[in-house]
Amino acid sequence: MNYHSPVITDLSKQITISNTNIGHNNQCYVIAEAGSNHNRDLKTAIALIDAAADAGCDAIKFQSFTGDDIASKYQSELTKLPDEFVKWGKNLKELYKFCALPDSFYEPLVEHAHKRDIHLFSSPFSEKAVDRLVSIGVPALKIASFELVHLPLIQYAASTGIPLIMSTGMAGLGDIERAMDAATSAGATQISLMHCGSSYPLGPGGANLAAMDTLRQAFGVPVGYSDHTLGIGVPVAVATLGGSLLEKHITLSRSDDGPDHGFAIEPNELKDMVGLMHDAQLAVGSPKKVRQPEEEDNARRGRRSLFTIDVMRAGDVLDLDKVKVVRPGVGLEPMFLELLLGKRVNRDIPADHPLTWDDFIDS
């Protein structure tokens, strides 16, 4: 495969999710990942939507699986669950059944998200889940990192024409290219990638945010980060580095019972995160080094300029005994001093007064 195949390079550096443009110098699109932290309780799921909307997130995302469609009961020494997970399921299939979003929740969650003016979508883990999400009109589909090698699922999701966000945890460039080719060959025209570290929680050193630029250069699509680190420092760095999207797990309380609560952030932290991300992105600004509008007052007050020392009469010659370099910066800049020495003034000028071009005889 060629990393610069015509199919891939035809993709846009910007995608649109429900009239919101993502990528190409737009504000970072923030996704609150509810995951399984709804606790299979509709009121909790709705409260997570409210927390995301109140924090200023652009979207909230759930996960769509039943347990039967994602895992078997098989386990070995290599695949058995950590001891602390056993209370939620003896094997992967039982664990995912414990975490599954009930099918009856979809319509009320979509209705509430619409009321709160926040996008709602989900990660499908089966073709049936794709169909269910299409039926409720989601504006995007998220392919989870673990599913990046499930090319039939990617093709099925891509065939819907709904924008795809694909996470790339555990993946090398070859894995990502195969997933991209699967999506584009099935008709996807709007794809974004999320760099990711698939460890829960992930240490900050494992974030390797510099790889976002590698993905941008290799695939030419909007690139963001799906974050599993603790705290909000890494998301702020993502915004600073020009990430187009950011996904962060949220919970109403880290003390809740379930596998995803412990590394998620709570509503007050989520609000702080979004605000800091927006500030960080604004702070990056332009590569041009020029005086900013906010600096004008200080430039006038604090910079130096050329002033008379004593009264000067019309016809007097300016020399070093008649001029000083002091604040405020309302006269000619000091860089013009050598040019002005020896020139005559064309009018009487008071002592301790700023000099301007209009004060001198043209010669």
pLDDT at 11: 81
* Residue-range domains of the chain with CATH: 6-65+100-284 (3.20.20.70), 293-359 (3.90.1210.10)
Query: Do the beta carbons of residue 260 and residue 251 sit within 8 Å?
Result: yes
User: CA-CA distance, 98 to 223, in Å (whole number)?
Assistant: 32
How does pLDDT run along the chain (363 residues), one tens digit per residue? 333 343 444 688 999 999 999 998 899 999 999 999 999 999 999 999 999 999 999 999 999 999 899 988 888 888 888 888 888 988 989 999 999 999 999 999 999 999 999 999 999 999 999 999 999 999 999 999 999 999 999 999 999 999 999 999 999 999 999 999 999 999 999 999 999 999 999 999 999 999 999 999 999 999 999 999 999 999 999 999 999 999 999 999 999 999 999 999 999 999 999 999 999 999 998 889 999 999 999 999 999 999 999 999 999 999 999 999 999 999 999 999 999 999 999 999 999 999 999 999 986
What is the phi/psi pair of residue 249, to 5°?
-70, 135
pLDDT at 225: 98
CA 181 to chain CA centroid, nearest Å: 25
pLDDT at 3: 35
User: CA-CA distance, 183 to 300, in Å (whole number)?
Assistant: 57
Helix spans in 140-260 (H): 151-158, 173-185, 211-219, 233-240
pLDDT at 8: 47
User: CA-CA distance, 238 to 209, in Å (whole number)?
Assistant: 7
Query: Do the beta carbons of residue 241 and residue 209 sit within 8 Å?
Result: yes
pLDDT at 7: 41
Helix spans in the chain (H): 6-9, 42-55, 92-99, 106-115, 127-135, 151-158, 173-185, 211-219, 233-240, 267-284, 296-302, 337-340
User: CA-CA distance, 168 to 196, in Å (whole number)?
Assistant: 6
